[in-house]
């Protein structure tokens, strides 16, 4: 019987991930498991004059620790999410990294800082936060930073401009999960979205680098919309090229 227990546990984990177990955090926040140690948090909020915008972030959990990639759009939703992670998933958020400086990535940074959570960001993101009077991440990095949550390594890397000049991605090698954030569009998207702060010239080359470096990704999570595989990168490249050809 004892020999069967590890196999049974592995099967239960695999089946829950395959079924993408979704937990309801609140009326406007959900958590969906996409690999053994990673969950997508999806929140709905009003953004830049648009009502009911759905945004994604990632939570990496291992050995009672959690790393948060992007917050919901505001402090209240961020608090709700973090407390749920502690109470229901038994993990304490200790580190945070935003994809870029917009509110749908770091709108809850102020609350995280009030709780003593360490925050890291690309140096350009820190510059933008200062320029726009937003809470400022505590630690800056250049090309990349490797963080560890429990036994799981997370590599946050700047691959080039796109949705914004400062946008980064996060790669979890052991999970083969790529969090592209708003740099990446979902596979069903038919337009490139908000380009007010975009670097349209750099965007195609940045996506090409993602396609080469993360070709083994099994899950690619965009900033908005459904996640999937590397077909999201293919669609993003098409949309960017169409937008720049006009």
DSSP-assigned letters across all residues of 45-70:
EEETTEEEEEEEEEEEEETTEEEEES
Asked whether 119 and 138 are in contact (CB, 8 A), the reply is yes
| Candidates 100, 156, 186, 235; catalytic one | 100
- Rounded CA gap, 220 and 6, in Å? 29
Contact 30, 22 (CB under 8 A): yes
**Among the options 167, 185, 186, 235, which is catalytic?**
185
Of the residues 37, 41, 102, 134, only one is catalytic, namely 102
E strands of the chain, at which residues?
22-26, 29-35, 38-47, 50-62, 65-69, 92-97, 118-122, 139-141, 144-149, 152-157, 169-172, 177-181, 219-222
Active site annotation includes 102: yes
Q: Is 220 in contact with 180 (CB distance < 8 Å)?
A: yes
Q: How many helices (H) and strands (E) does the chain have?
A: 7, 13
Which entry of 74, 156, 182, 186 is annotated as an active-site residue? 182
Angle at 72 between CA 67 and CA 75, to 5 degrees: 95
- Residues 198, 204, 209: CA angle, nearest 5 degrees: 115
Q: Is 56 a catalytic residue?
A: no
Backbone angles phi, psi at 99, to 5 degrees: -70, -40
Q: Active-site residue 105, yes or no? A: no
Q: What is the DSSP letter of 228?
A: B
Q: Is 41 a catalytic residue?
A: no
90 is catalytic: no
Q: How far apart are the first and last CA of the chain?
A: 65
Which one of the listed residues 104, 105, 166, 235 is annotated catalytic?
Answer: 104
Query: Which residue among 118, 176, 194, 197 is the active-site one?
Result: 194
Active site residue 234: no
Asked if 122 is an active-site residue, the reply is no
Say whether 100 is catalytic.
yes
Among residues 37, 41, 134, 163, the one annotated as catalytic is 163
> Which residues are marked as active site?
100, 102, 104, 163, 182, 185, 194, 224
């Amino acid at each position: 019987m004892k020999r069967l227990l590890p196999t049974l546990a592995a099967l239960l984990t695999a089946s829950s991930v395959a079924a993408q177990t979704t937990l309801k955090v609140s009326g406007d926040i959900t958590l969906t498991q996409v690999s053994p140690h990673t969950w997508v948090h999806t929140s709905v909020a009003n953004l830049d004059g648009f009502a009911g915008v759905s945004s994604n972030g990632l939570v990496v959990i291992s050995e009672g620790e959690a790393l948060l990639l992007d917050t919901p759009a505001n402090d209240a939703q961020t608090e709700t999410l973090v407390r749920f992670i502690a109470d229901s998933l038994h993990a304490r958020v200790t580190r945070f990294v935003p994809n870029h400086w917009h509110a749908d990535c770091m709108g809850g940074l102020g609350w995280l800082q009030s709780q003593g959570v360490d925050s890291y960001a690309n140096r350009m993101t820190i510059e933008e936060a200062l320029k726009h009077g937003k809470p400022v991440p505590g630690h800056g990095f250049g090309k990349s930073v490797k963080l560890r949550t429990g036994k799981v390594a997370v590599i946050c890397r700047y691959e080039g401009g796109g949705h914004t000049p400062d946008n980064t991605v996060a790669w979890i090698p052991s999970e083969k999960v790529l969090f592209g954030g708003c740099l990446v569009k979902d596979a069903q998207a038919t337009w490139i979205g908000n380009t007010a702060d975009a670097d349209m010239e750099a965007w195609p080359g940045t996506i090409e680098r993602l396609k080469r470096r993360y070709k083994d990704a099994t899950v690619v999570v965009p900033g908005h919309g459904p996640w999937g595989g590397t077909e999201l990168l293919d669609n993003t490249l098409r949309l960017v090229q169409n937008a720049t050809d006009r």
